[in-house]
Amino acid sequence: MASIEFLTIEADDPTAAQPLYTALGLDQHVQLRATTEPTSGFRGWTLSLVAAQPANVNALMVSATDAGATVLKPATKSLWGYGGALRAADGTIVTLASSSKKDTGPATLEFDEVVLQLGVTDVAATKAFYVEHGLEVGKSFGRKYVEFAMSGPIALSLTKRGALAKVAGVDPDGTGSHRLAVASDVGPFTDPDGIVWGRPDRASDAG
């Protein structure tokens, strides 16, 4: 079963970007490096932190905004649960979610899962690409959504680019670098939408 060991996120100023990831407890999941590659608009991916209850979502939202993030969508209840979206100072979009609508204990900064959500042009074609490169499908809902069965600390899902942008509260248009590289035991390769995957034991170029 494939594993994503960590994500490399490129930023104009990694030192200034670091406090947010520390505030969210993502130091083991994200490493930062400097770049001058141009990027604008939606980068085609988000990080999602899945928490056990709404109180944890709220606590993570506060911790993130205290560390310099801006709120894209305030945390609210929905048909599927509770959640909101943030944009980091470096431009990364982080969504925070819980499938529960009710609290069962005191608020903490804990989360149960980190998910790399890719907003892709063609879900079926990208699903097939990843299967060809050794990933196993966990759940699949036609041409709309795919979850892969991952053994590592970071999960992976695919959805349509426009749908993911809507969840994040941003316009789907974007150009330039994705400012992301995925360190995994299945790389190196570049997926159909330009996301770069590499081995965790060597540097990989974000794109």
Whether residue 206 lies inside any domain: the answer is no
The residue behind tokens 């894209």 is: 72
Whether residue 125 lies inside any domain: the answer is yes
Whether residue 204 lies inside any domain: the answer is no
Confidence at 206, pLDDT banded by 50, 70, 90: low
| pLDDT value of position 202 | 44
pLDDT beyond 80 at 203 = no
Whether residue 162 lies inside any domain: the answer is yes
pLDDT digits (tens, 9 = 90+) for 77-115: 988 899 999 999 999 999 999 999 999 999 999 999 999
Average pLDDT estimate for 165-179: 96
Q: Domain of 185: which CATH number?
A: 3.10.180.10
In whole angstroms, what is the distance from residue 199 CA to residue 12 CA? 24
Confidence at 207, pLDDT banded by 50, 70, 90: low
Range of the domain at 74: 4-198
How far, CA to CA in Å, does 9 sit from each of 32, 52, 204? 5, 26, 11
| pLDDT value of position 142 | 86
| pLDDT value of position 201 | 63
pLDDT digits (tens, 9 = 90+) for 27-68: 999 999 999 999 999 999 999 999 999 999 999 999 999 999
Whether residue 207 lies inside any domain: the answer is no
Whether residue 177 lies inside any domain: the answer is yes
- Specify the pTM: 0.94
pLDDT beyond 90 at 187 = no
Confidence at 204, pLDDT banded by 50, 70, 90: very low
Whether residue 203 lies inside any domain: the answer is no
From the list 53, 111, 101, 85, the residue with the least C-alpha distance to 164 is 85
- Percent of the chain at pLDDT exceeding 70: 97
Average pLDDT estimate for 196-207: 68
Whether residue 92 lies inside any domain: the answer is yes
79 CB-near residues (< 8 Å, 6+ apart): none
Average pLDDT estimate for 67-72: 97
Number of structural domains (the chain) is: 1
